[in-house]
A and B are shown apart, each in its own frame.
Chain A
Amino acid sequence: MVEWAVRYIDWLGMSPVSVLTTVFGAFCVTFVVIICWSRLVDDFGAIGGMMAAGIIVGTFWVMNHKLPGFGIHPEGIPHPDGGWKQFGLIYQGFRGASPWVDMGTAIGAGLWVCGLCGIPQGQKLRMAAESVPRLAAAIAGGAVGGAIMGLVGWTGANLFGYR
């Protein structure tokens, strides 16, 4: 059972146990954001929303995205089995070689589905279609911003002999 759960599946880039932790981590953060964030804003106004950023996203970042080997040891701590092990719930596929998948994916999807569930029957399809351009604009804007941020790795500046 354990061997089956932890074996690495080549075409999937992750093991079954990683699928489980990823879905669970995505579920937890999304549920807490949907339930708590709007109530914190109701209770405390804009301060509540900025508080929620720290106490919800910050806390769930530790749960979902922390990687060992950084922080106090920026050069990385090799694991006895080889490589760096990940302890965050959301697994970065293909042993970390995949592009970064953020828990924002889960939060966005959850809020979209929750909004869809709250819309009266009969208008669901129309409202879903209405949200598509806004969704596309947010995704396209994020991709542009992220890609430009990624360009800093290619500027070729060697400051202070840094390689």
Chain B
Amino acid sequence: MRLVATAIGGAICGALCFGIWPEMWKTYGILGGWITAAIVISICWYMNHWLGIVWNQPGRIWVDQGWAVSSAGIAWAMVRFNSQFRHAVPVILCCLLGGALAGIAAAQVKKRHPGFQPARPPAAQKEDARG
């Protein structure tokens, strides 16, 4: 059932993005696109990730609603503009490469940066400050 909920959350997020985003950007330009992110992505994030419609649990690999937006963009353009999937493949690969590199880099940051270590009790921090 959680998988069905995941699919429904993804469908709503994808449809919202590509129903609203192009119209807002054609009408209001850059500011329209920015506002659409604030409206659409915020409520979709609240539903999918804060309330947990997309199935994620601590200690497991995170599945983001970005996957749903991605597939929705491709399906939307293929249905609406008759574009061919094979034309999107090089850009998809570039996006996956850039995203994977950023994932590796961010994992290193989270592993090494002192700001991302689990919080220590205040007494221990005071000890550090005294030297």
A residues apposed to B, CB below 8 Å: 12-14, 19, 22-31, 34-35, 41, 46, 49-54, 57-59, 61-62, 65-67, 70-72, 74, 90-94, 97-119, 127-128, 130-131, 133-135, 137-154
Residues of B in contact with A, size category: 35 or more
What's the count of A-B pairs with C-beta under 8 Å?
Answer: 358
When chains A and B are docked, how far (Å) is the Cα of A161 from the Cα of B43? 35
Interface flag for B125 (CB, 8 Å): no
Closest CB in chain A relative to B40 CB, distance in Å: 8
Is the beta-carbon distance between A26 and B67 smaller than 8 angstroms?
no
Q: A101-B91, A105-B92 are in contact. Are A145 and B55 (CB under 8 A)?
A: no
Closest B residue to A93 by CB, please name it. Answer: B91
A-B contact sample (7 more), CB < 8 A, given A27-B99, A90-B94: A54-B35, A66-B25, A99-B76, A104-B70, A138-B65, A141-B10, A144-B11
Interface pair A153/B60, CB less than 8 Å apart: no
Cα-based distance from A103 to B76 in the complex (angstroms): 15
Question: How many whole Å from A21's CB to the nearest CB in chain B?
Answer: 9
> Which residues of the other chain, B, contact A117 by a CB distance below 8 angstroms?
103-104, 107-108, 111
A26 and B87 alpha carbons, distance in the complex (Å): 18
User: Does B78 contact A150, Cβ atoms closer than 8 Å?
Assistant: yes
Contacts A/B (CB < 8 Å), 5 sampled: A22-B91, A62-B30, A145-B12, A148-B15, A149-B72
